[in-house]
Amino acid sequence: MKVGIELGLTRTGEPLAMDLEELLSTRLLVQGNSGSGKSHLLRRLLEQSAGAVQQAIIDPEGDFVSLADRYGHVVVEADRSPGELTRIATRIRQHRASVVLNLEGLDAEEQMRCAAAFLNGLFDADRDYWFPMLIAVDEAQLFAPAAAGDVADEARKISLGAMTNLMCRGRKRGLAGIIATQRLAKLAKNVAAEASNFLMGRTFLDIDMARAADLLGMERRQAEAFRDLESGRFIALGPAVSRRPIEVRIGTVETRARSGRPSLLAMPEIAPDALQDLIFEPGAEIPPPPPPRVRAAPRPVEIPQTAIAGPFGRRIDALATAERRSEIEAFGSRPEFFAAPAVEPEPDPRSPEERAAELEAIYAEVLADPETPFRPLPLVYQDFLLHCRVHRLADHGQDLSAFRRRLNLARAGIADAADPDWAPVIEIAEALPEEMQSVFLIVARAARERAPCPSDEDLARAYGSHSPSRGRWLLTFMGERGVIRSEVDFRGYRSVIVAGVGWRTAPGHPKGVEPVPRRRSERRRLGE
């Protein structure tokens, strides 16, 4: 199927078209200084071919997300882990979806790693999904630099390798690269050399003009013409567009970038004194930094007359009636306090529903103590039995094993353990060491509710430790056991997937840092 992309008009006023099928086989290189119209040219190419071929745009500045509203491109935000981006890229090829990979907000090294993971996912797709696809990379010198810069060598190597695969080996897999760069001298030669079609815009440096002239087969004295090109004018050459260098003015586009050309605006008319007040006024909206957390020395607690002391030094709130107070005073100092009563207790007049509600209240009282996570389980169980005695709940049916299981569910906030969705998760938890079960259930509950992944401090607390490093070790241990899988995105935020059910937490920072608000396109994707 022959499809022509109308680029614009030549100097003689004739339309100039680019053969899309030839472009898929021969690739394209666009070069021009900042402001020469490269992004406008890419937008024209993508709009003209949107209905004829699958597209993917590597967008470092978020300028091409507007294609989603007009042409149905899916916006893929970069706040994901490398493994997740690779899986998304595979599904993109499978379902032939056109996408925009939005790298806005990431630093240079994170952009390189993110683009490499995405491109490798497209490149490594199964042979059954090698459909024709245009891959447009704006500011390609960021992802295929000619020399090492400020970024880590590892990030530069994986990004350069992905770009080289795209331009050198992508044709057999149906991938056609369209790369745009400000300077040819900044772009790796192995990447630039694989393009057979060229669109050269305004250039001022001698080394870039000479290299552009060499690529177009022009004489060195003709290289001065690149300085005289207006914004939006390019010299085109290649089997997909023209066999001889020809100048073309790029046509109009239907969508617009969020950041356009700067234009002059009238200066505000504000008196100098008022302007100084606006600038130097103290920032009342900026809260003061929080005071450092200092652990205060324990102070003796004065027990009021409305409370009494029970076994193990535990404080028990006063009972509502003097009768219950006298009962605890009578039994509190006796060793057989927790033993079964010698006489048959009177039948409980409360209904089963009332006893169940009373039992839930007792578990809530036990968990309300901030020191409960850090105390040995037998002591917590003794505390539970004491509360049952206070509430006159003799028939609770909770031995130590049942108490441990129910306490883990209560810590995780799982109200309905009979829910069939929880059955496989609870079964997995019971296969873990006892002290880890509550940690796993807390992570599983966050995953089911799509809440942020718990921080290292929260996980360590559920384990009974004050060390955040213990929380990181717990996730590593459970990952080695195959019950969860942890992924870290390019911002350092962590997501956990629960094995067997596929529940996934929202990204959460290991140190409990508040997540960055989602972009509008991401909120729209999640239906928020």
Longest dimension (CA), the chain: 113
Banded pLDDT at 211 (limits 50, 70, 90) = confident
Residues 189-198 pLDDT 10s = 889 888 999 9
More confident residue, 151 or 521: 151
Amino acid 516: pLDDT: 55
More confident residue, 178 or 525: 178
Asked if residue 315 has pLDDT above 50, the reply is no
Number of C-beta neighbours around residue 515 at 10 A:
13
93/90 Cα distance (integer angstroms): 5
Asked if residue 41 has pLDDT above 90, the reply is yes
User: Any long-range contacts for 408-417 (C-beta under 8 Å, 24+ apart)?
Assistant: 408/437, 408/438, 408/441, 409/441, 410/363, 410/364, 410/367, 411/367, 411/373, 411/438, 411/441, 411/442, 411/462, 412/438, 412/441, 412/442, 412/444, 412/445, 413/442, 413/445, 414/441, 414/445
Banded pLDDT at 354 (limits 50, 70, 90) = confident
Closest Cα partner for 54 from 129, 131, 126?
131
Q: Are 347 and 419 in contact (CB under 8 A)?
A: no
Q: What is the DSSP string of 34-45?
A: TTSSHHHHHHHH
Closest Cα partner for 105 from 527, 489, 377, 505?
489
DSSP 32: -
Banded pLDDT at 306 (limits 50, 70, 90) = very low
Q: Are 482 and 468 in contact (CB under 8 A)?
A: no
Amino acid 366: pLDDT: 77
Q: What is the DSSP string of 191-206?
A: HHTT--EEEE----SH
Which range has highest mean pLDDT (50-64, 325-339, 340-354, 374-388)?
A: 50-64
Amino acid 327: pLDDT: 55
Instruction: Report residue 306: phi and psi, to 5°.
Output: -85, 10
Residues 239-269 pLDDT 10s = 999 888 899 999 999 998 766 666 677 887 8
Q: What is the 3-state secondary structure (H, E, C) of 121-140?
A: HHHCCCHHHCCCEEEEECCH
28/176 Cα distance (integer angstroms): 8
Q: Are 248 and 198 in contact (CB under 8 A)?
A: no
Strands (E), 287-334: 307-309, 315-317
Asked if residue 307 has pLDDT above 70, the reply is no
- Specify the DSSP element, H or E, that contains 460: helix 456-463
pTM over 0.85: no
Q: Are 241 and 27 in contact (CB under 8 A)?
A: no
- Here the tokens at position 501 are 């059910």
β-strand partners of 136: 57, 178
Strands (E), 310-424: 315-317
Q: Are 438 and 412 in contact (CB under 8 A)?
A: yes
Residues 449-490 pLDDT 10s = 899 999 988 888 888 787 888 888 888 888 888 889 888 888
DSSP 5: E
Lowest mean pLDDT among 20-34, 143-157, 223-237, 352-366: 352-366
Closest Cα partner for 123 from 157, 86, 155, 95?
86
- Residue 419 corresponds to which amino acid? D
Torsion angle defined by CA atoms of residues 49, 54, 60 and 65, in that order, rounded to the nearest 10 degrees: 70
347/350 Cα distance (integer angstroms): 9
8/18 Cα distance (integer angstroms): 10
Helix 400-412 / helix 352-368 crossing angle, nearest 10 deg: 70
Strands (E), 61-145: 74-77, 99-102, 133-137
Amino acid 395: pLDDT: 63
